[in-house]
Amino acid sequence: MNKQGVKIVTIGGGSSYTPELMEGFIKRYEKMPIREIWLVDIEEGKEKLEIVGKMAQRMWDASGYDVKVYLTLDRREALKDADFVTTQFRVGRLNARIRDERIPLSYGMMGQETNGAGGIFKALRTIPVILSIVEDMKELCPNAWLINFTNPSGMVTESVLRYGGWEKIIGLCNVPVGLMLKEPPMLNLTQDDVVFKFAGLNHFHWHKVFDRNGNDITRDIIDKIVEGKVDTGTPANIKELPIYREQLYQMNMIPCGYHRYYYRYQEMLADLLKNYENNQCRGQVVKQVEAELFELYKNPDLKEKPEQLSKRGGAHYSDAACETIVSIYTNGNTHLVVTTRNNGALPDLPADCAVEVSAFIGAAGARAIAFGPLQPAQRGWLQVMKNMELCVEEAAVTGDYGLLLQAFILNPLIPSGDDARRVMDELLVAHEKYLPQFADKIQELKEKGVMPKDPVARKLM
């Protein structure tokens, strides 16, 4: 790694999140001097790449640091001799997300970006692309670290470990960062006053909190959460329904916001269906927020991240990504929550699978902190979800329709039966362009006349 200045490549560089990433690197420049940043995107994202690329360069120019931002549609040109590669792309862009959400909702099922049927199809589209990126990295930057923020982050990261033959990868999510920021103030403490221990999977983890003397203060935080007068750090895209108090006290762990989709399925689904009946889903909202953000980014006088970016649902992204990269660069051994190999941290799961846990991050990557076995309720959830993920990942690589059907039947947010299979088939047809591994099956479905019944999804094909 070049100590004279680091080369960073961001794939999906035209994302609205890129200014937050730039802000994070600017704040940490004294710890990790950057030589150049390459923002990479695809032809369809060229306009956004140019807008956000100019914004990024203005941010660096205003910082006083001499960093050059390069823009390219040629991934291989960018990757050569990179030190770190960050990934934040969305295969099919926001129109694909809207289809992921609306097609299940049209059958009265959970339509959500990273959970249920939508999350499965996001993984199917994304995993082959991340594996192709890894093949380029093996040739062009074999010593680089891959820092993945692309959702579903857990399955994408695990696929690189399991099928890509690339160990230098860490998966990230902003959700734990939000929790770690919001919970200490509930007890008039700072982050330096507490120790967090996370255990689970991406968007499906629990955590405990201890004070500096090692005392478990999780219940004290649960008391505050139950009182309902605190900001719990729930992401902006999740309706903040309370978790049942008796359940919280029994587990004596704090679940992440996404658990509401599983613990309060009926109520969360009803809220999504209400929006759907008004012809709206979260992806459509995000599309509007994105349009507003890019209008702001066009302003030649804008040189810092706008406040509106917090509405996008990815707040604290840069804290997760930049801290991880700087900790590797400086061998900082910083405590962060990441997706990495289990290696016994959660004995209820195989050692070689990927988990989202507390870890120390240094030059050798992530060293997962042992959490220990979970109680039966959490263990049951964890094992079902992990095995569902493993089915999805293998199906993404092999194009095995039967295995994909198994994943649908396993997923707790997908009621099994003929409607579930219809949703699956409609999603396959709707995403044909991005699912070449299922080409033969999709052709068969099209010959049978399969087509999304949701009019918006059809229009966006």
Q: Helix and strand tally (H, E) in the chain? A: 18, 12
What is the full DSSP assignment across 371-402? --PPPHHHHHHHHHHHHHHHHHHHHHHH--HH
Gap between the Cα atoms of 109 and 331, Å rounded:
46
Owner of token pair 């949701």: 454
Chain CA centroid to CA 433, Å? 22
Owner of token pair 């209008």: 295
Three-state SS for 213?
coil
The one-character DSSP state at 290 is H
- Give the CA angle between residues 320, 325, 330 to the nearest 5°: 125
Cβ atoms of 159 and 189 closer than 8 Å: no
Chain CA centroid to CA 284, Å? 19
Cβ atoms of 18 and 51 closer than 8 Å: no
108: alpha, beta or left? (left if phi > 0; alpha if psi -120 to 50): left
Cα separation values, 401 from 42, 289, 292, 421, Å: 29, 35, 39, 11
Of 17, 107, 163, 258, which residue is the catalytic one?
A: 258
Q: Residue 74: phi, psi to the nearest 5?
A: -105, 100
Q: Residue 258 catalytic?
A: yes
Which residues belong to the active site? 258
